[in-house]
Structure 1
Amino acid sequence: MENQILQFREELDEAKLYYQPSDEFDRTVKTRYEKMPADIFSTAEKAAKWVAGEIANEIKQKQKLGEMCVVGLATGATPLGVYSELIRLHKEEGLSFLNVVTFNLDEYYPMLKLSAQSYNHYMNDVLFNHIDIPKNQIHVPNGEVSKVTITGYCNEYERLIDSFGGLDLQILGIGRTGHIGFNEPGSQLDSITRLIMLDSLTRRDAAKDFNGLNNVPKAAITMGVGTIFKAKRVILMAWGEGKAAIVKKALEESQCDAVPASYLQRHTDVKFVLDVPAASELSRVKNPWLVGSIEWDRYWIRKAAVWLCNKLQKPILKLTNRDYNDNGLSELLALYGSAYEVNIKVFNDLQHTITGWPGGKPNADDSHRPERAEPASKRVLVFSPHPDDDVISMGGTLKRLVDQNHEVHVAYQTSGNIAVADDEAVRYLSFVKSFSRTHDTNEGNLQCVIEDIQKFLLENKKPGGMDTAEVRNMKALIRRGEAKAACRFVGIRSKNLHFLDLPFYETGTVKKNPLGEEDVRILVNLLRKIKPHQIFAAGDWSDPHGTHRVCWEGIYQALKIVKDEEWMKDCYIWLYRGAWQEWDLDEIQMAVPVSPEELQHKRNAILRHQSQMESAPFMGNDSRLFWQRSEERNRATADLFNKLGLAEYEAIEAFVRFIV
């Protein structure tokens, strides 16, 4: 499947973002800056199926020769789609694994095999228990070996791989430090299987699986770079924008021990398999004019001009003909005649995105505004994946919509219960227990429930363990109360809050169920009940926990069902970001300025989510608190507009329009 169609951003069927680069120009692979082969797929799902197909082909070829197929396997979120497809191929198409020998890359140390966080447990759960591979042909590093014997154990693991003739195929993910396996920066090309200390960033990335950073092991057993390098063939996979920066370093920059994945540039048979977000920083995706001719449309003209401004640190209206010519953009000048014409076009295009009326300005000319003037008072439905994403990502816009007399509804798609730390839950329990005692409520049963929950959290629950149903319900109520407080603060009525508690989320663990029919049905019913003129939804689909992506998929499936209904003909869909990432300036279609007072108001709304301050177990890899990262991103967006020569604002919340 060479030369996969390159799309601007992951699409779901026929849906697209409002700005979309033309599909007419030559899409053949242009790899002027890339030092290794890389295929870019429109979705991670398609990419994973391709990788699974390659593994299956390798297995079948070895079966024909009567030989064993030796495969190196990876763990984490990246290969999950590959393993699901291999299971499907086994169950539906008869793919046998009887001739397969597997060696896993790594395991945390120390780690009990039966622990829910162990890679032994992971591999059984996501692959081995569902296929016909003999158990004695499975090899996963043992995190239970003693430190006294670990060097000998690692040497034996290495020898065992060699005894099978080495790896026929090794699949890899890539960490944000550039690690492959657990070979962190500083690992040498000739390194072998060994015990290694984990980088702090790697541990933070794993914190969600261990219910907090403090529970993440500090070490791991890993195959070495040299061990991986001896594989006859290597496929490295990366999905999502969170991997884009390190993918660019590994593919386009010189090899160095600071980015262990870059060592693969020396391998004779290696391929990177990427989805579009993971490839978004590559030159052929981000700056295609640097690698060949393109068809210049509105999107690419804006993107090129903004790129040139940032590179030269100049505002748009000061770019000259020479600036364009000296930086690979002479084609654009030939098309428009002069830098002045291009500059004015882009300046006006960006200027028209800025509006203080996110619901549309009544009785105004809306021909150059991002939103319609009519109806003057709109029904607005804001989807929030977790109970705080609404105020974190668009708290200033929410207040504007309320103040400008729109009917604002907020739909919280999940309970967010697993993101409440145990200490926070105990604090709430202590208050309720004390309150009920001092007010003679005769709630003896309540006291018993409280004491049972406290005992579980303080004495019986193990690190990373699963909460009971009662604990999950209590934590959900904590988050629901915080969401109500935040909405009251920005002026949204309680009757306009909708707590959907989508079933896919309610597993009690970080691992969620796939989106189901009931999830979509709940969303469809709400859309039909409100019939909104505006929908706001989370567009940061690469959030580290995956919930935002699943929540969006649910909304999209619901929109497909209702898209032909009369009310949908007058409905605009806007995507926000903010909790994990922000829109690039060249993507923004609506920029809502936020004043210093409004930014303070937004902060206070976020602070109503007390359980999600520093004690939240799923803060991700960013050590800043949510209100801090939100403010800094909003200020950074405003600063970008200012540097381009547009108006100077304290902060800006940004949105991209989505077309079904």
Structure 2
Amino acid sequence: MIVNPNERIPCRIFDRASDASIAAAQEIAALIRQCAANDRPCVLGLVSGSSPVNVYQELVRMHREESLSFANVFTFNLDEYFPMQPHELQSVARFMQEHLFEHVDIPADQIHLLDGSLPRDEIATHCHQFEQSIRNLGGIALQLLGINRAGHIGVNEPGSDRSCRTRMITLDQVTRTDAASDFFGAENVPRHALTMGVGTILEAKQILLLAFGEGKADIVKRTVEGFAGSSVPSTFLQDHPATVLLLDAAAASNLTRVQSPWLLGEVAWDEATIRRAVIDLSEATGKAILKLTDADYNEQGLQDLLAAHGSAYDINLRIFRQLHSTITGWPGGKPAHAKQVGDRPGNRDDIFPKRIVLFSPHPDDDVISMGGTLIRLVDQGHEVHVAYQTSGNIAVFDEDALRYAEFVDDFCRRFDLRPTGLDELADHVDTFLRNKKAGQIDSEQVQNIKGLIRRSEAREGARCCGVADEHLHFLDLPFYQTGRVKKSPISEADLKITIDLLQRIQPHQIYAAGDLSDPHGTHRTCLSVILQSCLRCQDDPWYSSAAVWLYRGAWQEWAPHQIEMAVPLSPEEVQRKRMAIFKHQSQKDRALFPGSDAREFWQRAEARNAETARRYDALGLAEYAAIEGFVRWDGQSGIEL
């Protein structure tokens, strides 16, 4: 791998986030053992959040299976919300207990946590004592960090000085938006937090920063290749002599050595690299692919490509034909009477109509992400099944659940229908929701009501696309059923439900969400369930003719150099897709968990589909109203399994 000389912080790139997590855990374990061998305390700075979960899981495994002792370990956690009681679901204290401390042999008095439950007038003294405790132990030997989209470390927000110490800070809107899912709405996120200062962090002898997923790619590039400054606090790490970033392939995707390796030296010109280079060149020059000249290639540092693969004309034509071959209005293939000489490969198979399963992680991802393609598949005569993997019940506002419960109660009263237990249920729902605290987990009854709301909306959205009711499958995968944003690990039960469905339908096409920037992690988990299930089915006779296609749209979109099947949509199909999304009324106008994009889901989807079409048009291909893009899973991708 070529290394960019402009990378101001060393980076290690791994195929999978789990591999990076194991590498971090091994470094920490080696330090613990080294300190123990020398009869010294091992002082660790720790971080909470999704990134370090697998690090702590691996450390716990080493403790249980490899006798890794934490008896000599002293820990200092980076931050804590204020105000925050240590037992609350969102507290760093609870996170650390659940993921590490209660599973290893670390003495309680060697754990140091910032206390968000203190009175405000005691915070300054508490922060000073926290700093003094670090100094008394000789400083932090290894600091583990994560990073958010704004580049904060700890919760040192943009504007934090490189010399700042442990203190209370006001959280900015990006941080509060990112934390909204944990608190069931941005309005419930505390406005303040306690955090180690940048200066405190930079005094650690060694720093490991974890960054995973496409959502971190932009800030990783700015941190590593940008200039240091307080507007992006993570860039201060450039001046630290022993900082290393541990990245998965997605988080590293915008680094120059990954995105444009030809700018750094000699590369192996495989098909994927050539395609990306030519598309980048076309977009950089503002020229359609077939208009690019030898001079354009030379001026953009692509002389080696010309030398290895001929003239600009030959390369242009080759890539243009590749891109043109991705476009199909028949995503499920054509019937015999519609086939033509010169049809694209995907349209020439002999199976028509097909059995198709579209897996939707939440009850609306099917129509948001590939509603236009779904409409086409149904209209073209395929047997289309939609499998909703989770109930989506945590994403319903309390007032919606209360409104539906009141409707049922009023309906039964009007028609003198009083099913057994209805009065008790109505009283419970009313009392619970009117007295519910911010971030409190819903009762089982309320979760069921919210799940039924999402289920009824899913039916209407699918019907709008023409899918038959008997082809809708509500899987309610067990991993999701916690009532919290934090979910359970994938179990054999999740796999069995999915495998049973696949073996019953025996599909020729499987569509799955590859939108891994979902900030809540459900998409990634749902995809892992599907791919593991496919691997379990790979020896079944039916599977040999099955293709797995990955869609995106709710949180991001495939880039043209990635797309292997591009399904164009007419203006009428765009409108039908919008109406299908509108059926999800509980997510309309304002979603409970909108993520970092303030637009409604239908607006995001239309804008992304239109942008894909615009990019195809600018590359010199046909002009369409919108395009939904897909990538085929080859059975070997780096998705976490």
**Normalising by structure 1, what TM-score?**
0.94
Q: CA deviation at 1:371?
A: 4.3
Query: Which residue number corresponds to residue 514 of structure 1?
Result: 489
Residues in 2 aligned to 1:598 and 1:167: alpha-carbon distance in whole angstroms: 58
Matching residue's letter, 1:217: P
Contact 2:364 2:584 in 1 (8 A): yes
The offset of 1:616, in angstroms, is 2.8
**Quick one: which of 352, 357, 367 aligns to 1:381?**
357
Contact 1:40 1:275 in 2 (8 A): yes
Alignment partner of 2:13: what SS?
strand
Describe the shift of the 1:115–1:442 C-alpha distance in structure 2 as closer, same or farther (beyond 3 A): closer
Kept after mapping to 2: 8 A contact 1:358/1:401: yes
The answer on 1:480 being equivalent to 2:449 is no
| CA distance in 1: counterparts of 2:94 and 2:375, whole angstroms | 47
Q: Deviations over 1:318-356 (max 9, x none)?
A: 111111111111111112321111111111111111111
1:391 aligns with 2:367: yes
Q: Confirm or deny: 8 A CA contact 2:71 2:106 kept in the other structure.
A: yes
- The equivalent of 1:54 in structure 2 is 27
Match of 1:622 in 2: 597
Task: Give the aligned partner of residue 517 of structure 2.
Answer: 542
Correspondence for 1:452:
428
Shift of 1:133: 0.5
Q: CA deviation at 1:498?
A: 0.7
- Look up the match of 2:313: 340
Gaps of 5+ in 2: 636-641
| 3-state SS, counterpart of residue 103 of structure 1 | strand
Contact 1:362 1:373 in 2 (8 A): no
* Closer/same/farther in 2, CA of residues 423 and 112 from structure 1, 3 Å limit: same
Matches for 1:132-171 after TM superposition, within 5 Å: 132-171=105-144
Say whether residues 1:438 and 2:397 are aligned partners: no
d(CA) in 1 for partners of 2:126, 2:342: 70
Contact 1:59 1:69 in 2 (8 A): yes
Matched, 1:258 2:226: no
Distance 1:504 1:101 in 2: 33
The number of residue pairs the alignment matches comes to: 632
- Kept in 2: contact 1:591–1:653 (CA 8 A): yes
Q: Distance in 2 between matches of 1:434 and 1:598?
A: 39
Instruction: Summarize deviations over 1:149-201 as a string: whole Å, max 9, x none.
Output: 22222122111111111100101001110000001111111010111111101
Instruction: Quote the Cα distance in structure 2 between the aligned partners of 1:250 and 1:219.
Output: 24
Matched, 1:302 2:278: no
Aligned pair partner of 2:557 in 573, 576, 582: 582
Please say if 1:605 is aligned against 2:568: no
Q: Is the 8 A contact 2:591 2:600 kept in 1?
A: no
d(CA) in 2 for partners of 1:598 and 1:186?
Answer: 46
Q: Once superposed, what is the RMSD of the aligned Cα atoms?
A: 1.2
Corresponding residue for residue 403 of structure 1: 379
Note the alpha carbon deviations across 1:576-608, whole angstroms, 9 max, x for none. 001111101100011111111111110110111
> For residue 103 of structure 2, what is the aligned residue in structure 1?
130
Amino acid at match of 1:430: E
Q: Distance in 2 between matches of 1:591 and 1:223?
A: 48
Alpha-carbon distance between aligned partners in 1 of 2:606 and 2:348, rounded to the nearest angstrom = 28
Q: Which of 267-276 and 610-619 deviates more?
A: 610-619
Q: Say yes or no: does 1:64 pair with 2:37.
A: yes
For residues 480 and 579 of structure 1, the distance between their equivalents in structure 2, rounded to whole angstroms, comes to 19
CA distance in 2, matches of 1:542, 1:388: 16
Asked if the contact 1:70/1:167 (under 8 Å) is kept, the reply is: yes
Picking from 305, 309, 328, the partner of 2:301 is 328
Supply the distance in 1 between the matched residues of 2:483 and 2:418 (Cα, whole angstroms): 31
Q: TM-score by structure 2 length?
A: 0.97
Task: Identify which range, 423-432 or 61-70, moves more after superposition.
Answer: 423-432
For 2:250, the equivalent position in structure 1 comes to 277
Aligned pairs (5 A) from 1:632-643: 632-643=607-618
Distance, in Å, in 2 between the alignment partners of 1:114 and 1:442 is: 40
**Take 1:425 and 1:372, find their aligned partners in 2: how far apart are those partners?**
49
Q: Corresponding residue for 2:179?
A: 206
Asked if 1:573 is matched to 2:548, the reply is yes
Deviation of the 1:443 alpha carbon: 3.1
Q: Which amino acid aligns with 2:610?
A: R
Structure 2 residue identity aligned to 1:215: N
- Report the counterpart of residue 71 of structure 2 in structure 1: 98
For residues 545-556 of structure 1, the aligned pairs below 5 Å read 545-556=520-531
Q: Of 508, 518, 533, which aligns to 1:533?
A: 508
Shift of 1:420: 1.2
User: Which residue number corresponds to residue 445 of structure 2?
Assistant: 470
Q: Which residue of the partner structure matches residue 22 of structure 1?
A: none
Q: Which amino acid aligns with 1:595?
A: S
Does structure 1 retain, via aligned residues, the 8 Å contact 2:590–2:600? no
How far, CA to CA, are the matches of 1:644 and 1:109 in structure 2?
51
> What is the SS of the residue equivalent to 1:263?
helix
User: C-alpha distance in 2, partners of 1:481/1:577?
Assistant: 23
Q: Which residue matches 2:346? A: 370
Q: 2-side partners of 1:202 and 1:286: how far apart?
A: 27
Distance across 2 between alignment mates of 1:427 and 1:527:
37
How many angstroms apart in 2 are the aligned matches of 1:130 and 1:598? 53
Alignment-derived partner of residue 646 in structure 1: 621
- Whichever residue aligns with residue 276 of structure 2, its letter is K
Task: Work out the CA distance in 1 between the residues paired with 2:582 and 2:481.
Answer: 25
Q: Show structure 1 runs of 5+ residues with no match.
A: 1-26
In structure 2, how many angstroms separate the alpha carbons of the residues matched to 1:367 and 1:289? Answer: 34
Q: CA deviation at 1:444?
A: 5.9
Q: 1:366 to 1:197 in 2, by over 3 A?
A: farther
**Distance in 2, Cα, partners of 1:337 & 1:87:** 55
Q: d(CA) in 2 for partners of 1:254 and 1:658?
A: 38
Instruction: Please list, as runs of the form range in 1=range in 2, the aligned pairs for 1:76-91 lying within 5 A after superposition.
Output: 76-91=49-64
Q: Quote how far apart the aligned CAs of 1:442 are.
A: 3.2
- Which of 395, 401, 420 is residue 425 of structure 1 equivalent to? 401
**What letter is aligned with 1:200?**
Q
| 2:326 aligned partner | 353
Question: Partner of 2:120: helix, strand, or coil?
Answer: coil
Relative to 1, partners in 2 of residues 1:371 and 1:510: Cα closer, same or farther, differing over 3 Å? farther
Quote the residue 1:293 is aligned against: 266
The secondary structure found in structure 1 opposite 2:511 is strand
| Structure 1 residue aligned with 2:570 | 595
Distance 1:127 1:469 in 2: 28
- State the distance in 1 between where 2:12 and 2:284 align: 28
Partner of 2:639 in structure 1?
none
Please state whether the residue corresponding to 2:209 is helix, strand or coil.
strand
Letter aligned with residue 306 of structure 1: I
Q: CA deviation at 1:362?
A: 2.3
Q: CA deviation at 1:391?
A: 0.3
Q: 1:457, 1:354 → 2: CA distance?
A: 49
Amino acid at match of 1:613: K
Q: Secondary structure at the match of 1:261?
A: helix
SS at match of 2:139: coil
- Return the letter of the residue paired with 1:381: V
Contact between 1:505 and 1:513, CA under 8 Å: does it hold in 2? yes
CA positional deviation for 1:411: 0.6
SS in 1 for 2:408: helix
Query: 3-state SS of the aligned residue for 2:25?
Result: helix
Could you give the per-residue CA deviations for residues 394-445 of structure 1, whole angstroms, max 9, x where no partner exists? 0011111111011100011111111112111111112112211112213363
Q: Which piece of structure 1 moves more, 202-211 or 353-362? A: 353-362
Residue 595 of structure 1 contacts residue 651 of structure 1 at CA under 8 Å; is this kept in 2? yes
State the match for 2:6 in structure 1: 33
Instruction: Report the residue type matching 2:431 in the other structure.
Output: K
Please give the alpha-carbon distance, in whole angstroms, between the structure 1 residues aligned to 2:151 and 2:515. Answer: 22
